[in-house]
């Protein structure tokens, strides 16, 4: 035993030899590990000794001591109390903790540099305070969707019919053979419920995955002095988080530093007014709230389930049972067809009962079935049961239970494929609505362009500057101050020899990299040398940001710096600096020269940013401080920069594809009208001959000032709206919708939220989009690319088209089967297609047909059609033409078989009924090819790409052979010879040339059903005039 103990001590000896420069938490962990290892070693030795001498009594005093090795990290702070302080907004209690600085010290966080951020540090904090995740309610299980499927009215009617058929079948034919019809209906119902439940279950799981992806927000934090992006789930207590307009607050915390911070707490309190956050009166920030204005850094105090937001979200289950408009319309259609089927079945029931009780029916021997009082009661009951079974069969075939399934399959398939094509669907209805879009209002930056900005032009005064060494020292200092201190971005460099890392918006990063790399700006030194007094954060209304600063060396002078859209800053200036640093007054001629410089850069597709400055005495600043407004008059223009943001490759083709598809593309941007026009021309939104003097280009202010009548008149002609505010974008969307357009809008900013909500389809940007914009959108474009918007349009049309294909195919089956059974039942008193056979047709056509047609890929043909209007009927005249011709052909052939089939083929009645059944199924198989193309004559184009379709056709034919040849008793069929199979195939194959011929017939665009309504209206009018 001493040898084993010695070996164990040798193993832990390197661990005990700890370096002295380790951090306190690391020392604690090493001590804890040592204690655990020693305890386990001794415990193991004791167990070994027990096993060797089980009969020996255990000594009363053990020879080892169990150590309590629970980590004591952050033991100096009562986290429960601290969490309560934030939740209760208890400022006095916070002061007792030593204020924000005291809390930061207790959490071992540097206010400037954040936490250490090492793997051990993060793990320790997660163990001590929890992770930034919350418990979700358990996902709905498969059984839930099975129960939901049973609630469907169609299923309930089928179950009722199955019970009747089962009872009557057993009554008439005994339990051994009488269960076939009723049992087969039950089997069919079971399969329909199974497919529907599994499909909905998988769709729900897909939504859960999408929900996790959409919740995985990227957050800016400062760790070890470096600003970096991490997942919201990786935020820990003690983190310093950087917030800007549109961000979601990722955890509960305290305000550290920032300016003009206002937060929308409506998600927590229900109050719509924005709450001002500052370090003096209200430093409390809550998880789940949104930043409405300003920017700040916050110290994370509690995460996950310790926040009010976490507690609230853990009780909310995401409802994925959203019913799309198309699903609602299809449910209505299914209900209407079901009611028609019930009416026909009831009529058949009446006719058959009248025929029977009036003595117009004969039995197998040719004798009259009902002969008054001479007929036995048992025979009457059996005959009535047979008649009711025929009526039930008609109800079964009339109900197209595959329609809702087809929609579910199509939407689930398209959602999955759209995700692969960089589009994440948040609302199912958007899949359909996008197919009807007539206008797309798109942003410029990041959507049409790459969002990879770089400063390519720099003007001082009226001279372009190529070499920064030519700039005077004083002017260079002013430029560096204006860049370093009037920004929400940051610069990080690990060591003096390493590369710089720039963070912030693309515009901020472009300006910072230019100032650091070309002007040798030292951002850290400037931040130390100046104190920021007041900030006016950038917003999309005024398109500028400003800051007032005081030098640590001179407290008597306050410098005001402005940065923003060039023409707006220029309007605030009355003087300018030339390249040598001399200040000159700006007269009208020089102002016009600057405007021409700005227009010249804009015409080269450059975004123009101006810098301006004003020096004011401390006394004047103190007077203005009360109004919380920066000096914005009589500024001195420092310089102009031109930022290049190249167009995305392929964006021109995507725009042309949309225009070719009949969809208008409008660019709405906050940029200069010249920049906007240049980019729009480059992207193909504007023709080269459509300049700024054309009605196609307008500025936001001009559009805003139009009368409502003028806006409605001009809105269709507008292609570019420059210098627009979010309100202008909203106004544009409202006008377009009033004119009947289906509008899709892209947006990325917080202020785009109203337009995204107002639009029929809101498309937010996944990379540059704020959390507010994403929440208001229907679809998130993950790569911020306009080409992905065009792809979404194509998929939207594909969804609508696939469902129309299946409706045409399904209704052909239903109309043909209903008429055949109805005519046969009325004329001959019996139905040629039994309940089992019809359910088999419904099952293979509904389930497999839905799967085959619902998974067709988008084609170029979809983008050659005009958009589908809001009021256009789901079943178009083209579909009516196709389905009625095919259905009439099938009815004619099968009724000929019904009445003359025995003499034509020289077979008995059982074989004749099998021929009818087999021909009917094969007609549907061939017609499934016709359904692939509603208008095009070549139905085989691209079929080799759809392996699933070909596989389903093969499976259907194999199953039909099994049904006819091997399940004779169950399906009530007889085996067919090769000649009979050939005849069935030949007759079914005529569906192909017939489909080709019928597509040569042109049809009116006026909806088919409107003629019926017109006739009904005129008939009522005629009756009223006569009365």
Distance CA 1027, CA 1017 (A): 15
CB 480, CB 521: distance < 8 Å: yes
* Rounded Cα distance, 509 and 507, in Å: 5
Cα angle 837-838-839, degrees, rounded to a multiple of 5: 90
Q: What angle do CA 62, 63, 69 make, to 5 degrees?
A: 90
Token pair 């860049």: residue: 483
HEC sequence for 947-1007: HHHHHHHHHHHHHHHHHHHCCHHHHCCCCCCHHHHHHHHHHHHCHHHHHHHHCCCCCCCCC
Contact between 247 and 288 under an 8 Å Cβ cutoff? The reply is no
Give the number of other CB atoms < 10 A from CB of residue 702: 15
Nearest to 875 by CA among 1008, 1001, 1016: 1008
Q: Do 826 and 353 form a contact (C-beta atoms < 8 A)? A: no
Q: Nearest-CA neighbor of 251 among 265, 264, 232?
A: 232
Residue 720 has phi, psi (to 5 degrees) of -135, 130
Find the angle CA(226)-CA(228)-CA(230) to the nearest 5 degrees: 140
Closest CA to 663 of 802, 804, 786: 786
| C-alpha 670, offset from chain centre | 26
Cα–Cα distance list, 855 to 369, 500, 806, 885 (Å): 52, 49, 11, 25
Question: Is 547 in contact with 535 (CB distance < 8 Å)?
Answer: yes
Measured CA to CA in angstroms, residue 367 lies from 306, 359, 371, 380, 382 at distances of: 85, 10, 10, 14, 16
Please tell me the distance from the alpha carbon of residue 248 to that of residue 750, in angstroms, as a whole number: 11
Q: Which two tokens stand for residue 139?
A: 């996902």
At 263, give phi and psi (nearest 5°): -125, 140
Q: Give the SS3 label for residue 848.
A: helix
* Rounded (10°) angle between helices 119-129 and 24-52: 70
Give the residue carrying structure tokens 């990722």.
250
Q: Which residues are catalytic?
A: 443
Exposed (0-12), middle (13-18) or buried (19+): which is 382, by Cβ within 10 Å? middle
3-state DSSP helix/strand/coil percent for the chain, to nearest 5?
Answer: 55, 15, 30
User: How far is residue 65 from each of residues 28, 36, 650, measured CA to CA in Å?
Assistant: 19, 12, 73
Instruction: Return the bridge partners of 293, or none.
Output: 262
N residues, the chain: 1027
Measured CA to CA, the distance from residue 881 to residue 140 in angstroms comes to 43
Cα–Cα distance measured from residue 226 to residue 271, given in angstroms and rounded to the nearest whole number = 36
| DSSP annotation string for 202-269 | HHHHHHHHHHHHHH--EEEEEETTEEEEEEGGG--TT-EEEE-TTPBP-SEEEEEEEEEEEEE-HHHH
CB atoms within 10 A of CB 161: 27
Q: How far apart are the first and last CA of the chain?
A: 117
Residue 394, classed as helix, strand or coil, is helix
Structure-block tokens of residue 201: 């279950």
- The answer to whether 671 touches 567, Cβ cutoff 8 Å, is no
CB-CB contact of 501 with 629 (8 Å):
no
CA 1019 to chain centroid: 49
């Amino acid at each position: 035993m001493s040898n084993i103990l010695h070996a164990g001590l040798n193993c832990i000896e390197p661990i005990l030899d700890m370096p002295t420069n380790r951090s306190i938490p690391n020392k604690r962990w090493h001590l804890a590990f040592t204690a655990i290892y020693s305890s386990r070693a001794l415990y193991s030795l004791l167990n070994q000794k027990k096993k060797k001498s089980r009969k020996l009594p255990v000594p009363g005093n053990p020879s080892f001591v169990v150590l309590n090795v629970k980590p004591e990290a952050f033991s100096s702070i009562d986290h429960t109390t601290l969490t309560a302080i934030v939740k209760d907004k208890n400022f006095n209690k916070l002061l007792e903790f030593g204020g924000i600085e005291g809390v930061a010290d207790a959490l071992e966080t540097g206010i400037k540099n954040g936490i250490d951020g090492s793997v051990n540090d993060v793990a320790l904090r997660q163990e001590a305070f929890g992770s930034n995740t919350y418990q979700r309610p358990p996902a709905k299980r498969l059984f839930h969707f099975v129960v939901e499927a049973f609630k469907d009215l169609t299923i309930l009617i089928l179950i009722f019919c199955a019970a009747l058929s089962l009872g009557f079948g057993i009554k008439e034919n005994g339990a051994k053979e009488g269960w076939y019809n009723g049992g087969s209906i039950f089997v069919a119902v079971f399969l329909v419920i199974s497919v529907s439940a599994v499909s909905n279950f998988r769709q729900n799981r897909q939504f859960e995955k999408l929900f996790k992806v959409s919740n995985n927000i990227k957050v800016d934090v400062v760790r070890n002095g470096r600003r970096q992006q991490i997942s919201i789930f990786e935020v820990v207590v003690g983190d310093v988080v950087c917030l800007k307009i549109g961000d979601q607050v990722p955890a509960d915390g305290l305000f550290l530093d920032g300016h003009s911070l206002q937060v929308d707490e409506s998600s927590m309190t229900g109050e719509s007014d924005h709450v001002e956050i500052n370090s003096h009166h209200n430093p409390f920030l809550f998880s789940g709230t949104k930043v409405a204005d300003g920017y700040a850094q916050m110290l994370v105090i509690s995460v996950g389930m310790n926040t009010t937001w976490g507690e609230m979200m853990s009780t909310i289950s995401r409802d994925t049972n959203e019913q799309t408009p198309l699903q609602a319309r299809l449910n209505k259609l299914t209900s209407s067809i079901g009611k028609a089927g019930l009416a026909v079945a009831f009529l058949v029931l009446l006719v058959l009962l009248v025929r029977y009780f009036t003595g117009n029916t004969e039995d197998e021997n040719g004798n009259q079935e009902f002969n008054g009082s001479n007929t036995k009661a048992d025979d009457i009951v059996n005959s009535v049961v047979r008649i009711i079974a025929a009526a039930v069969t008609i109800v079964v075939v009339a109900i197209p239970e595959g329609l809702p399934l087809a929609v579910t399959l199509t939407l689930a398939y398209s959602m999955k494929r759209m995700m692969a094509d960089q589009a994440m669907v948040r609302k199912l209805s958007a899949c359909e609505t996008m197919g009807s879009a007539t206008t797309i209002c798109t942003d410029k930056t990041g959507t049409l362009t790459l969002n990879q900005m770089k400063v390519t032009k720099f003007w001082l005064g009226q001279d372009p500057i190529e070499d920064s060494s030519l700039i005077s020292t004083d002017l260079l200092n002013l430029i560096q101050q204006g860049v370093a201190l009037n920004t929400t971005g940051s610069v990080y460099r690990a060591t003096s020899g390493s590369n710089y890392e720039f963070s912030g918006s693309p515009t901020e990063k472009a300006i910072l990299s230019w100032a650091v790399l070309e002007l040798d700006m030292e951002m850290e030194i400037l931040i130390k040398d100046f104190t920021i007094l007041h900030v006016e954060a950038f917003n999309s209304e005024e398109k500028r940001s400003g800051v007032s600063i005081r030098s640590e060396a001179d407290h008597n002078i306050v410098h005001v710096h402005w940065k923003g859209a060039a023409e707006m800053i220029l309007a605030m200036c009355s003087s300018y600096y030339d390249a040598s640093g001399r200040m000159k007054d700006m007269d009208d001629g020089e102002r016009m020269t600057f405007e021409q410089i700005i227009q010249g850069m804009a015409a080269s597709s450059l975004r123009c940013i101006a810098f301006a400055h004003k020096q004011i005495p401390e006394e004047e600043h103190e007077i203005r401080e009360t109004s919380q407004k920066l000096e914005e008059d009589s500024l001195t223009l420092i310089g102009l920069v031109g930022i290049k943001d190249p167009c995305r490759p392929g964006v021109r083709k995507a725009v042309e594809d949309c225009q070719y598809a009949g969809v208008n593309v409008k660019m709405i941007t906050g940029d200069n009208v010249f920049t906007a026009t240049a980019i729009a021309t480059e992207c193909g939104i504007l023709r080269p001959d459509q300049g700024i003097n054309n009605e196609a280009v307008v500025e936001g202010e001009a559009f805003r000032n139009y009368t409502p009548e003028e806006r409605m008149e001009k809105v269709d002609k507008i292609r570019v709206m420059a210098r627009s505010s979010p309100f202008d974008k909203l106004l544009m969307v409202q006008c377009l919708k009033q004119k009947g357009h289906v509008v899709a809008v892209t947006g990325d900013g917080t202020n785009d939220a109203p337009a995204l909500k107002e639009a029929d389809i809101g498309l937010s940007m996944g990379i540059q989009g704020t959390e507010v914009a994403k929440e208001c959108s229907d679809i998130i474009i993950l790569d911020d690319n306009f080409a992905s918007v065009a792809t979404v349009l194509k998929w939207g049309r594909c969804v609508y088209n696939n469902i129309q294909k299946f409706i045409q195919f399904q209704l052909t089956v239903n109309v043909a089967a209903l008429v055949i059974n109805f005519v046969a039942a009325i004329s001959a008193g019996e139905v040629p297609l039994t309940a089992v056979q019809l359910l088999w047709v419904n099952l293979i056509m509904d389930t497999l047909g839905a799967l085959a047609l619902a998974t067709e890929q988008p084609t170029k043909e979809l983008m050659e059609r005009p958009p589908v209007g809001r009021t256009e009927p789901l079943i178009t005249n083209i579909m009516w033409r196709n389905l009625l011709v095919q259905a009439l052909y099938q009815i004619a052939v099968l009724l000929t078989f019904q009445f003359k089939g025995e003499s034509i083929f020289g077979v008995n009645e059982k074989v004749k009924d099998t021929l009818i059944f087999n021909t009917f199924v094969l007609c549907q198989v061939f017609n499934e090819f016709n359904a692939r193309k509603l208008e095009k004559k070549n139905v085989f184009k691209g079929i080799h790409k759809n392996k699933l379709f070909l596989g389903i056709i093969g499976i259907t034919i194999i199953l039909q052979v099994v049904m006819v040849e091997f399940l004779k008793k169950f399906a009530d069929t007889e085996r067919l010879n090769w000649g009979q199979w050939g005849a069935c195939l030949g007759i079914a194959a005529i569906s192909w040339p017939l489909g080709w011929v019928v597509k040569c017939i042109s049809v009116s665009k006026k909806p088919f059903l409107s003629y019926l309504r017109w006739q009904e209206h005129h008939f009522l009018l005629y009756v009223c005039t006569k009365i």
